[in-house]
Amino acid sequence: MNPRLLPYVLILPVTLFLCLFFLYPFVLVAQQAFSNGSGFTMSNFRDVTEHWKFPISLKNTFLLALAVVPIQLALSLLMATMVTKMKKGRDLILYVWTIPLGISDLAAGIIWLAIFEQSGFLNSMMGGLGLIDSPTNFLSYTSPVMVFVAIMLAEIWRATAIMLVILVAGIGLIPKEYYEAGEVFGATPWQRFLKITLPMLRPSLQTALVLRVILAFEVFAVVQALGGTLFPVLMGETYAYQFELLNGGAAAAIALIILAISITFTLIIMRALRVPKGATI
């Protein structure tokens, strides 16, 4: 076989698969979003954006992403640095920390619901310690902050590991000699982190952040389990349009809006963390 063709032949199956199960449905969804059965229209977009719940769910989605992702970034960097420094038991710790990765997001939501609900662990523990007289309902409409905090905690618990894994791999690729050079030339551990680890980790940070931010805009099951209708988010609205209001066109329109937001943020992150021209990392 012509060696110049071989690479293309090798990626052909995957390309076909993606076209069939991703690109084609995507075109269908786009079609659905921009049509009302007779021709091109923006009415689906108008309908969903003019609905009173849209600004709230948009705000909630952004708020949650804004609250969760920076904490996860800091946490995963800290955890990755710690794991890298470990000599023994490193793999074990990494396995334990990545357990939440193996749990579906709905299951994660339910686990945290079991903690926060009125008959949950938190209430019985506080009751057992004599801190409260009677169980309180943390997740009610009277305590929106508590609902938000519960969702935040669940999201951080559930989805920090994906960033951690990427960053651990990235840090492992940085040659030790750079740190030794940093030490010899007077960089403190904190300076070595800022001046060597972070810049050299840029490609991994890009991947981790893009992945995490996209997932944050698609947040659904955890919110559904803990907040229900108290905390509407964009993906929840998509679900509601599709399966409760049976309005496929509107659901497709919201899905495309989420996609647009995701693409925008991906581009922003790629640009912000780009490697300077000429530098090779």
Partner 1 sequence: MAVIEIKNVAKRFGEYQALHDINLTIADQEFMVLLGASGCGKSTLLRIICGLETATEGEIWIGGKRVDHLAPKDRGISMVFQNYAVFPHLTVFENIGFGLRMQKMSNDDVKRRVERTAGLMHIEQLLTRYSGELSGGQRQRVAVARALAMEPDVILMDEPLSNLDALLRMEMRAELKGVLAESNTTAIYVTHDQVEAMSMADRISVMHEGKIVQAASPIEVYRNPAAEFVAGFIGNPPMNFLEATPQGGGKFSVAGHSFDGPSAANSNLQFAIRPEDMTLAENGFPAVAKVVEPLGAHLLVTCELDGKLFRAILDSEMQVKPGETLKLAPVKDRIRWFDPETTLAVA
Check residue 173 for interaction with partner 1 (CB under 8 A): no
Check residue 270 for interaction with partner 1 (CB under 8 A): no
Residues 122, 124, 125, 127, CA torsion sign = positive
Check residue 77 for interaction with partner 1 (CB under 8 A): no
With CB under 8 A as the contact rule, the residue among 146, 196, 230, 259 that binds partner 1 is 196
Return all residues near 179 (Cβ < 8 A) that are at least 6 apart: 192, 196
Q: What angle do CA 265, 213, 191 make, to 5 degrees?
A: 95
Among the listed residues 215, 210, 211, 214, the one whose alpha carbon sits nearest the alpha carbon of residue 274: 210
Smallest gap from residue 168 Cβ to partner 1 (A)? 20
Residue whose CB is less far from partner 1, 145 or 184: 184
Check residue 190 for interaction with partner 1 (CB under 8 A): no
Residue with tokens 């523990």: 125
Which tokens go with 42?
Answer: 């923006």
Check residue 276 for interaction with partner 1 (CB under 8 A): yes
Smallest gap from residue 208 Cβ to partner 1 (A)? 18
With CB under 8 A as the contact rule, the residue among 120, 127, 199, 228 that binds partner 1 is 199
Binding mask 6-45 for partner 1 (x = CB under 8 A): ----------------------------------------
Check residue 281 for interaction with partner 1 (CB under 8 A): yes
Return all residues near 125 (Cβ < 8 A) that are at least 6 apart: none
Distance separating alpha carbons of residues 56 and 35, to the nearest angstrom: 26
Return all residues near 35 (Cβ < 8 A) that are at least 6 apart: 41, 249
Smallest gap from residue 213 Cβ to partner 1 (A)? 23
Which tokens go with 174?
Answer: 């940085």
With CB under 8 A as the contact rule, the residue among 16, 28, 272, 275 that binds partner 1 is 275
C-beta separation of 211 from 159 below 8 A: no
C-beta separation of 238 from 255 below 8 A: yes
- Work out the end-to-end distance of the chain between its first and last CA atoms, rounded to an integer number of angstroms: 35
Check residue 62 for interaction with partner 1 (CB under 8 A): no
Centre a 10 Å sphere on the Cβ of residue 230 and count the other Cβ atoms it contains: 17
Among the listed residues 257, 276, 269, the one whose alpha carbon sits nearest the alpha carbon of residue 211: 269
With CB under 8 A as the contact rule, the residue among 146, 187, 230, 259 that binds partner 1 is 187
With CB under 8 A as the contact rule, the residue among 14, 131, 184, 246 that binds partner 1 is 184
Check residue 279 for interaction with partner 1 (CB under 8 A): yes
With CB under 8 A as the contact rule, the residue among 181, 245, 260, 270 that binds partner 1 is 181
Check residue 280 for interaction with partner 1 (CB under 8 A): yes
Q: Which of residues 202-231 bind partner 1 (CB under 8 A)?
A: 202
Smallest gap from residue 77 Cβ to partner 1 (A)? 17
Check residue 271 for interaction with partner 1 (CB under 8 A): no
Residues at the interface with partner 1 (CB under 8 A): 175, 177-178, 180-187, 191, 195-196, 199-200, 202, 275-276, 278-281
